[in-house]
Amino acid sequence: MVFYNRILQCFVLIDLKIGDISHQDLGQMQMYVNYYDRKVKLENENPTIGIILCRTKDDALVEMTLPENNEQIFASNYLTVLPSKDELKKLIKAKEYE
């Protein structure tokens, strides 16, 4: 999923994984982040943020990827706080797949 955060002025890419997460998944997200930074974002926009949310039968894993040489990390939601990896894991585990 691709979102644009008007406040942060950047693209936010979210990948939802049902099965196990692999290094290939992380590399793929980094490729998407790099693509958006090079080909889609405008010069006045901030670097793209990539988020991978993964849920497997016995575990939940959250990974975030940011562009190389990123000097700042932007995180916000309506509370202006992005949940920690542990909090996101709890949220993923709490949801039932239909």
> pLDDT tens across 1-12, in order?
999 999 999 999
Sheet holding 2-5, edge to edge: 2-5, 10-17, 49-55, 60-65
Greater pLDDT, 94 or 27: 27
Angle at 85 between CA 82 and CA 66, to 5 degrees: 70
Range of the domain at 71: 2-94
Greater pLDDT, 7 or 53: 7
Domain count, the chain: 1
Q: How far apart are CA 17 and CA 25, in angstroms?
A: 9
Residues 6+ apart with CB under 8 A from 41: 10, 11, 47, 48
Q: How far apart are CA 88 and CA 8, in angstroms?
A: 21
The model's confidence at residue 68, banded by pLDDT at 50, 70 and 90, is low
User: Cβ–Cβ contacts within 10 Å for residue 41, how many?
Assistant: 18
Considering the chain, what is the average pLDDT of its residues? 75
Give residue 95's pLDDT.
Answer: 60
